[in-house]
A and B are shown apart, each in its own frame.
Chain A
Amino acid sequence: MGALLQVADLHAWYGESHVLHGVDMTVGEGETITILGRNGVGKTTTLRTIMGIIRARKGEIRFAGRDMLSVPLHRTAHAGIGFVPEERGIFASLTVEENLTLPPVVADGGMPLEEIYDLFPNLLERRASQGTKLSGGEQQMLAMARILRTGVRLLILDEPTEGLAPVIVQRIGEVLQKLKARGMTILLVEQNFRFASRIADRFYLMEHGRMVADFPVAELPDRMTTLNKVLGV
């Protein structure tokens, strides 16, 4: 499997504070990767640094062979990376449909609007409502749906199941399965083990701003005890 995303010795800073201390990771084409770790170890920061939202960074980020460090934030999506932030980022001053069609289509192969509405019938029903009037689960669906339209090759999700009811979590799992089947490469941060174990091919474990372990999903059962201790769950 060729690496779609290659991160090597990545450092990042928030002002004076050094938060990523040499992150190494690879994401293969079509793979689904989950980053695990306690709160504050730098999981979200890793995602935001790869996206280029955090600009105080050093090291190497290659996406489809291209050096991403010099790419300005507004060109990252055009390179083929889509981002679903932890806070979901639904715009209050836009309707559901405006939210959905906001991100420009960057490549062929994105999901047509009709197919998105088939996948998320709630969004069709409420397409004229204000974006933030949707429930938390619907907002998460919307945040994912609007990236699917754009034709990006790598989908980055930050805690997609956070704060959502089990039935919604299951629904999000189904959507991600469908995306996997379409060949989408997915990189996510997730606290919910059971959820992650259903969709991920491989895990990275993060501590103190770097990756400390990397294992396939098959090894998850054997590692549960250690993981529980490390993650403090």
Chain B
Amino acid sequence: MTTIFGIPLAAFLGQLLIGLINGSFYAMLSLGLAVIFGLLRVINFAHGAQYMLGAFVALLLLQYLGVDYWLALAIAPLVVGLFGALVERTMLSRLYDLDPLYGLLFTFGLALTIEGTFRYLYGAAGQPYSVPPALSGGTNLGFMFLPNYRGWVVAVSLVTCLGTWLLIEKTKLGAYLRAATENTVLVQAFGINVPLLLTLTYGFGAALAAFAGVLAAPIYQVSPLMGTNLIIVVFAVVVVGGMGSILGAIVTGYMLGIAEGLTKVFYPEASNIVIFVIMAIVLLLRPAGLFGKDA
């Protein structure tokens, strides 16, 4: 059997794939956080809850209305995005003039409230969500067996990240967003409705989290706490990438997912902490993060 650094190749590639899949979720979630932080200067602690909401909306749509995975992939982000926009409009927007700490505390409280409500209603245990029939089974790549659904997740995440990046870097809306991130007042003086832009951005970030949540449902179990476990790692990703850096969030998301996967192969004991060790090192050497512009 082929080995690499004394490790069976199949095990190595298997962990690499798991790392890539985890990285796909890290990238999509940290991307949303970065977009929200960049424009709103709000550290969105409710991001994990919004991810969980996405998975739950998909699950409930299936259980109560028989809506399948594909439709849920479109509906759940829309529902959670609208909910996010509503929260921004009615509550979060009142905190912009205050210390940024209030935004953090508010979204933290929001996350606890949402997760608590779902735990009360559905219990803490995870519920299974089956892989859509079209993506069940797997493909033999020769060196390893790739479950189709996991391949799909990696591909969709790459497309989502690339699409979001293009939206921000190459379109008119993205130019408004980038300009407003730099100088909100002037952009408003030019006649652009920045309050609306803020609402859309928060809604978009929440929708992105929900989209990731639907993608995650068939891989991880749908549980009220699925976001809590993930969000801490995602914050580490954002810090390593550089707060507010879009490209940084994407690249770092995949990179740290893979680093985590590979650590499982070479030194399994450290796999749970490797991301935080990297974060500590990056903070010591480059406090602004790998892609950050200023400290």
| Shortest CB distance A72–B (Å) | 8
Docked-complex contact B191 and A91, CB < 8 angstroms:
no
Partner of A92, one of B182, B187, B188, B194: B182
List the 10 closest pairs (A to B, CB-CB), nearest first. Answer: A77-B191, A103-B190, A93-B178, A89-B186, A73-B188, A74-B188, A91-B179, A98-B175, A74-B193, A83-B189
Residues in A lying within 8 Å of B, measured CB to CB: 51-53, 73-78, 83, 85, 89, 91-94, 98, 101-104, 106, 150
Q: Which of A75, A85, A89, A93 contacts B191 (CB 8 A)?
A: A75
Q: Is B276 an interface residue (CB 8 A)?
A: no
CB distance from A211 to the nearest CB of B (A): 23
Chain A residue at smallest Cβ distance from B184:
A73
Bound: A36/B237 CA distance, A: 53
B181 lies within 8 A of A104 (CB): no
Count of chain B residues near A, Cβ 8 A: 19
A67 to B178, CA, bound (A): 32
Q: A93-B179, A94-B178, A98-B175 are in contact. Are A74 and B191 (CB under 8 A)?
A: yes
Cβ of B176 < 8 Å from any Cβ of A?
yes
Q: What are 14 residue pairs bridging A and B, where the CB atoms are less than 8 Å apart in the complex?
A: A51-B189, A53-B189, A73-B189, A74-B193, A75-B191, A77-B189, A78-B191, A83-B186, A93-B178, A102-B179, A104-B190, A104-B191, A104-B192, A150-B191
Bound-complex Cα distance A150 to B191 (A): 10
Residues on the A chain within 8 Å of B186, using CB: 83, 85, 89
B55-71: CB near A (< 8 Å → 1, else 0) gives 00000000000000000
Beta-carbon contacts under 8 Å, B36-87 to A? none
With a 10 A CB-CB cut-off, give which of B176, B186, B194 has the most chain A CB atoms. Answer: B186
User: Is B183 in the interface zone, CB < 8 Å from A?
Assistant: yes
Given contacts A73-B185, A93-B179, A104-B192, 14 further A-B contacts (CB under 8 A): A52-B189, A73-B189, A74-B189, A74-B193, A76-B189, A76-B191, A77-B191, A83-B189, A85-B189, A89-B183, A93-B182, A94-B179, A102-B175, A102-B192
In the complex, which residues of chain B have a beta carbon less than 8 angstroms from the beta carbon of A73? 185, 188-189
Q: How far is the CA of A77 from the CA of B189 in the complex (A)?
A: 6
Known: A92-B182, A93-B182. A103 touches B191 (CB 8 A): yes
Instruction: Determine whether the beta carbon of A53 is less than 8 Å from that of B185.
Output: yes
Chain B min CB distance to A172 (Å): 20
Instruction: Report yes or no: A91 in contact with B178, Cβ–Cβ below 8 A.
Output: yes
